[in-house]
Structure 1
Amino acid sequence: MKQNMHIVILTAGYGNGHIQVARTLKQSLIRSGVRSVSVIDLYREAHPGMNSVSRSLYLYSPWFSAYGLDYYGWSYYATRDLQKTSAIAKWGNQLGMKKLITLLQKQRPDAIISTFPFGGITDQLQKHGIRVPVFTVVTDFSLHNRWLFTRPDRYYVATADLKREMIERGVPAEAIVVSGIPVREPFYEPVRSANPQAQAQAPRASERSRSVLVMMGAHIPLPDVQLITAKLLALPDVRVDLVCGGNDKLRRRLERRFAGHERLQLFGYVEAIHDRMREAACIVTKAGGITLSEAIQIRTPIVVYKPFSGQERENARYLERKGAAAVAISPRALAEQVHELIDSEVRRARMLQQYDELAAGCATETIVRDVLRLTGRLQAMADGQ
Structure 2
Amino acid sequence: MTRRVVILSAGMGAGHDGVAVELAGRLAARGAEVEVIDVLQVLPFRLGPLLRGWYQWAIRRAPWLYEVIYQVFFAGKQGPSSSPLAGLGAARLLRLPGMRGCDEVVSTFHLAAQMAGLLRERGLLRARSTVLLTDFAVHRMWLHPGNDRYLCPDPAAAGPVTAATGRPAYPCAPVVRPRFRHVATGGAEPDGVWGRIGAREGDRLVLVSSGSWGVGRVERTARLLARSGRYTPVVLCGGNAALRRRLAAGGAGIALGWRDDLPALMAAAYALVDNAAGLTCQEAFAAGLPVVSYLPIAGHGRASALTAARAGVSAHARRGADLLRALDDLGDRRERALALFGSPSAESLIMPLPAPAVSPPAPAPGWGATWTEGSSRR
TMscore range, shorter length = 0.7 to 0.9
| TM-score, with structure 2 as normaliser | 0.81
Instruction: Give me the identity figure in percent.
Output: 23
Say whether residues 1:40 and 2:37 are aligned partners: yes
Q: CA deviation at 1:94?
A: 0.6
**Offset from partner CA, 1:251-270 (integer Å, 9 cap, x none):** 22222221xx8xx3332211
Q: Secondary structure at the match of 1:135?
A: strand
Q: Secondary structure at the match of 2:352?
A: helix
Distance 1:94 1:213 in 2: 41
Q: CA deviation at 1:340?
A: 2.7
Say whether residues 1:26 and 2:27 are aligned partners: no
Over 3 Å counting, the alpha-carbon distance change for 1:138 and 1:90 in structure 2 is closer
**Offset from partner CA, 1:13-34 (integer Å, 9 cap, x none):** 2232111111111111122222
Q: Secondary structure at the match of 1:25?
A: helix
Over 3 Å counting, the alpha-carbon distance change for 1:310 and 1:254 in structure 2 is closer
Determine if contact 1:83/1:89 at 8 Å carries over to the other structure.
no
Over 3 Å counting, the alpha-carbon distance change for 1:182 and 1:207 in structure 2 is same
Q: CA deviation at 1:218?
A: 0.6
Q: Find the counterpart in structure 2 of residue 380 from structure 1.
A: none
Gaps of 5+ in 2: 356-378
The alignment yields a C-alpha RMSD, in angstroms, of: 3.2
Q: Find the counterpart in structure 1 of residue 225 from structure 2.
A: 232
Over 3 Å counting, the alpha-carbon distance change for 1:88 and 1:154 in structure 2 is closer
| Structure 2 counterparts to residues 1-385 of structure 1, below 5 A | 4-34=2-32, 36-47=33-44, 49-65=46-62, 70-80=64-74, 89=82, 91-103=84-96, 107-117=100-110, 118-125=113-120, 127=122, 129-172=124-167, 175-189=168-182, 190-193=185-188, 207=202, 210-223=204-217, 225=219, 227-258=220-251, 264-329=253-318, 333-334=319-320, 336-344=321-329, 348-361=330-343, 366-373=345-352
Over 3 Å counting, the alpha-carbon distance change for 1:199 and 1:234 in structure 2 is closer
Distance 2:162 2:327 in 1: 39
| TM-score, with structure 1 as normaliser | 0.80
Larger Rg: 2
Gaps of 5+ in 1: 377-385
- Of Structure 1 and Structure 2, which has the larger fraction of its residues in helix? 1
Q: CA deviation at 1:339?
A: 3.2
How many residues are aligned here?
Answer: 351
Distance 2:272 2:13 in 1: 20
**Offset from partner CA, 1:293-326 (integer Å, 9 cap, x none):** 1121212121222112222111111122233323
Q: State the AA in 1 paired with 2:262.
A: I
